[in-house]
């Protein structure tokens, strides 16, 4: 591990990897990563690279359709990552060593024409299915209307949750309250002790700055490109304060997600540095590589807020509701498309392997 990565971890950050590709997991374990997360785009990239042709062939011969193959491969990759992080999960008594498994994004596709309650019911069913038998798997649910509706029942069933696709404080509040209510129900019913309760809330960072650069071009240089950081730090502070008096054994944490920079003018560790010092950063492989090679010493900055003048400028200029709607519409689209692309890749592999047979 480089001195830069060591300093990031020493600052108090738990380093997670935004991938379950086996070789990347191995490398990032050496770099001090203590968890990982998965999504359909990640699975698509792994499958597209061709490393799973033999497994797809075997699943095809068993008569599985494309969707069943997609979920079988996802489950296997996430399970393999769970095995690699199992010792960390055990040594931290469940405070780290988790791997996230994302539920079916296609449920959120507007073309499916499903009601929020119908989607929520399906999330509950799938969450129970994919959590069963796993000790260090987090079930990842989006902070959509349907996802938020599903959280209390999932938590009441004793399932450890990662709420994703979260941009604004209102999403965080709704998710936190639902999960905490469900966790207390689980404890009261004997399903899971509060000593085993763990939850995380994935706050997306860089997409907010992409939005403000387009929609609020007149922000000052001190504010532009820092709105996502300000938003995350405010929610982090709220999260710290809410759980402080709950006397829980495990930390209820934010995941700082979407930490890869989008502007060529920004150093690749911009968000890593700004949010160093607490909770979890789930970084793309390239971001962790850049941190490793940076030569930078990271210190805790997550509690450092921008000047009051910058905060006032952002608060006056930013339409939170408008940003929320735009980013969620865009986010759902980015949520759904990779799963459809994964199914298309498997369909193409099916055709390719069938021709070779």
Residue 50 has a pLDDT of: 81
- Quick: pLDDT tens for 131-177: 999 999 999 999 999 999 999 999 999 999 999 999 999 999 999 99
**pLDDT above 90 (res 125):** yes
pLDDT of residue 46: 86
For residue 49, what pLDDT band results from cuts at 50, 70 and 90? confident
Sequence-distant (≥ 6) Cβ neighbours of residue 111 within 8 angstroms: none
Nearest-CA neighbor of 18 among 99, 103, 137, 138?
A: 99
71 in any annotated domain: no
Does 15 reside within a domain?
A: yes
Give the per-residue pLDDT at 177: 98
**Residue 228 to residues 17, 18, 66, 169, 261: CA-CA distances in angstroms?**
20, 19, 37, 12, 11
CB within 8 Å of 60: residues ≥ 6 apart: 69, 350, 353, 354
The reported pLDDT for the residue numbered 202 is 97
What are the two backbone dihedrals, phi and then psi, of residue 203, each rounded to the nearest 5 degrees?
Answer: -95, 120
Is the Cβ–Cβ distance between 153 and 188 less than 8 Å? no
Q: How far apart are the C-alpha atoms of 295 and 154, rounded to whole Å?
A: 43
Confidence at 11, pLDDT banded by 50, 70, 90: very high
Q: Which of 8-22, 84-98, 224-238, 342-356 has the lowest mean pLDDT?
A: 342-356
The answer to whether position 22 is within a domain reads yes
44 versus 87: which is more confidently predicted?
Answer: 87
pLDDT of 263 reads 86
Mean per-residue pLDDT, 91-113: 96
- pLDDT band at residue 61 under the 50/70/90 scheme: confident
Segment 236-246 mean pLDDT: 98
191-220 pLDDT, tens digit per residue, is: 999 999 999 999 999 999 999 999 999 999
What pLDDT does residue 265 have? 87
Q: Is the pLDDT of residue 84 over 90?
A: yes
Q: Is residue 340 part of a domain?
A: no
Whether the pLDDT of residue 178 is over 90: the answer is yes
Tell me the C-alpha to C-alpha distance, in Å, between residue 10 and each of 13, 34, 225, 239, 298: 7, 13, 26, 21, 8
Section 239-243 average pLDDT: 98
Cα–Cα distance for residue pair 86/14, rounded to 1 Å: 16
**Once rounded to an integer, what is the mean pLDDT over residues 11-23?**
94
CA distance 301 to 317: 25
Q: What predicted TM-score, i.e. pTM, was given to this entire model?
A: 0.94
CA–CA gap between residue 167 and residue 205 (Å, rounded): 8
pLDDT tens column, 286-330:
999 999 999 999 999 999 999 999 999 999 999 999 999 999 999
Range of the domain at 106: 3-38+82-335
Residue 75 covered by a domain: no
Nearest to 219 by CA among 303, 302, 306: 306
Q: For residue 13, which of 226, 255, 211, 241 has the smallest C-alpha distance? A: 255
- pLDDT tier at 357 (50, 70, 90 boundaries)? low
In percent, how much of the chain has pLDDT > 90?
85
The pLDDT of residue 355 is 81
Give domain status of residue 299, yes or no. yes
pLDDT confidence band for 54 (50 / 70 / 90) = confident
> Is the Cβ–Cβ distance between 270 and 205 less than 8 Å?
no
| 203 occurs within a structural domain | yes
Q: Return d(Cα 165, Cα 144) in angstroms, integer.
A: 8
Residues that are catalytic: 140
- The full DSSP string for 135-195 is SSEEEEEESSHHHHHHHHHHHHTT--EEEEEE-SHHHHHHHHHHHHHHHHHHHHHTSS-GG
Q: What is the pLDDT of residue 128?
A: 98
Residue 65 counted as domain residue: no
Q: What's the Cα-to-Cα distance from 71 to each of 39, 56, 59, 111, rounded to whole Å?
A: 11, 11, 11, 21
- For residue 166, what is the domain's CATH number? 3.20.20.70
Domain count, the chain: 1
pLDDT > 80? residue 247: yes
Work out the average pLDDT over 267-288: 94
Give yes or no for a contact between 284 and 19, defined as CB atoms under 8 angstroms apart.
yes
pLDDT over 90 (residue 53): no
């Amino acid at each position: 591990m480089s001195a830069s990565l060591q300093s990031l971890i020493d600052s108090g950050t738990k380093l997670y990897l935004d991938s379950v590709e086996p070789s990347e997991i191995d490398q990032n374990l050496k770099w001090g990563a203590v968890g990982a997360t998965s999504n359909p785009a990640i699975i698509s990239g792994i499958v597209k690279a061709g490393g799973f042709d033999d497994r797809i062939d075997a699943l095809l011969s068993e008569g599985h359709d494309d969707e069943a193959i997609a979920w079988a491969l996802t489950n296997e990759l996430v399970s393999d990552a769970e095995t690699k992080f199992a010792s960390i999960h055990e040594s931290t008594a469940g405070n780290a060593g988790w791997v996230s498994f994302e539920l079916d994004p296609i449920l959120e596709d507007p073309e499916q024409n499903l009601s929020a309650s119908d989607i929520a019911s399906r999330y509950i069913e799938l969450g129970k299915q994919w959590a069963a038998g796993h000790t260090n798997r987090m079930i990842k649910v989006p902070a959509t209307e349907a996802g938020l509706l599903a959280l209390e029942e999932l938590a009441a069933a004793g399932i450890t949750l990662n709420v994703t696709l979260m941009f604004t404080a209102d999403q965080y509040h709704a998710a936190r309250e639902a999960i905490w209510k469900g966790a207390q129900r689980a404890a009261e019913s004997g399903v899971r002790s509060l000593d085993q309760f763990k939850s995380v809330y994935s706050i997306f960072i860089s997409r907010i700055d992409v939005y403000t650069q387009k929609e609020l071009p007149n922000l000052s240089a001190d504010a532009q490109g820092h709105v996502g950081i300000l938003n995350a730090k405010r929610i982090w502070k709220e999260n710290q304060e809410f759980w402080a008096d709950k006397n829980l054994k495990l930390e209820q944490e934010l995941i700082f997600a979407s930490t890869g920079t989008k502007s060529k003018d920004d150093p690749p560790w911009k968000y890593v540095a700004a949010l160093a010092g607490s909770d979890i950063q789930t970084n793309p492989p390239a971001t962790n590589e850049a941190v490793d090679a940076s030569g930078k010493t990271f210190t805790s900055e997550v509690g450092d807020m921008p000047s009051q003048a910058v905060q006032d400028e952002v608060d006056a200029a930013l339409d939170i509701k408008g940003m929320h709607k735009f980013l969620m519409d865009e986010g759902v689209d980015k949520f759904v498309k990779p799963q459809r692309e994964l199914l298309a890749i498997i369909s193409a592999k099916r055709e390719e392997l069938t021709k070779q047979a």
